[in-house]
Homo-oligomer: A and B are copies of this chain.
Amino acid sequence: MADKDEKTFWVGFDLGGTKMQATIFDAEFRPLGSKRAKTKGNEGAEAGVDRIIKLINEAQVEAGVTDKALSGLGIGCPGILDLDRGIMHLAPNLGWENIKLKDILEKALKCPAYVVNDVDAGVYGEYRFGAARDAHCALGVFPGTGIGGGCIYEDRILRGKTNSCMEIGHIQVMPGGPLCGCGRHGCLEAVASRLFIAASAAMAAYRGQAPHLLADGGTDVAAIRSGALSRAIEAGDEAIERIVRQAAKHIGTAVGSVANLLAPDIVVLGGGLVEAMPKLFVEEVREAAEKQALPSMAAGMKIVAAKLGDDATVAGAAAWARRSVEGNGRK
């Protein structure tokens, strides 16, 4: 192993709405130290940024890696970002606004810092180390409270001029459909997110169509998590299975439409819902996607579950930082 004072170590950070994670990687992207903590966004941005730096420092101690040995840092963030300037313009989940994350972290850790969209970082992680290695084009779809998306194209994270893109949750799939969190109607997210599934499941439970879910998760939309849905299906709540399969089908049709645009060679499905029911999701998404994709697009396209779970984001963020520092040399 390299001397821990040499500049060969990379920090990956995952800034989530509820929890955050810092991991120190060596030059081969082996994790040497990793720490998690609650984000506590509501304590304000200043306190939050201090907590981020503290968590990185703790991970450094665990890894035995000094500031001097850090080559760079990548941080996966939610919200609206200025990617080049590393500013978090707005993160509604955290209640933070206009945080110059890049500048603050570079000053604190004395190494280059790169701000990345959190879903993009996760998809880049799967592309470099997980389920989508060496794809020409890897599309990631992560159904959760919303539905996140990311795309790695020829070793680049596809992005807008300043902010990230690939908001697959907000393509319209059902004109005149249910209200979406963005204020529009019939977005993919509005008919296939975990939140919509939970709401549909709560209705089924209330109507008496899902006795197991009613006993286990009740009818509170906020309380019906992926695990409860999965257990209800296992226990025989057919209505819940139909609801989840229907949502997965919508995701699959949307993936098929996006495949007609981007011709991904691999589509990675991740997030809590998919982790709880990987077989069901991969099956339904694959079937619907292959139906909607043109034969020339469907031919080369694999659909798989993510492999790295929560670690995808830190690994992807760190690897993206390295790619940004060193350029496209690796390919």
Contact = CB atoms under 8 A, between A and B. Distances in A.
A327 interface: no
A329 interface: no
How often does this chain occur in the complex, in copies? 2
A170 B253 contact: no
Given A158-B153, A172-B256, A173-B172, A80 B167 contact: no
CB-based closest 3 A-B pairs:
A160-B263, A171-B257, A165-B263
Contact of A170 (B162, B173, B260): B260
Interface of A: 80, 136-137, 149, 151, 153-154, 156, 158-163, 165-168, 170-175, 182, 184, 253-254, 256-258, 260-263, 265, 291-292, 294, 296-297, 300
Nearest to A171: B257
A32 to B, nearest CB: 34
Contact of A158 (B162, B260, B262): B262
A205 to B, nearest CB: 26
11 contacts: A136-B161, A137-B160, A137-B161, A160-B265, A161-B265, A161-B300, A165-B263, A170-B260, A171-B171, A171-B258, A172-B257
Contacts of A261: 149, 151, 165-168, 171, 258, 261-262
Nearest to A293: B170
A219 to B, nearest CB: 28
Given A149-B261, A161-B265, A174-B175, 14 more contacts: A158-B262, A160-B262, A160-B263, A160-B296, A163-B263, A165-B260, A165-B262, A167-B260, A167-B294, A168-B260, A168-B261, A170-B260, A172-B173, A261-B261
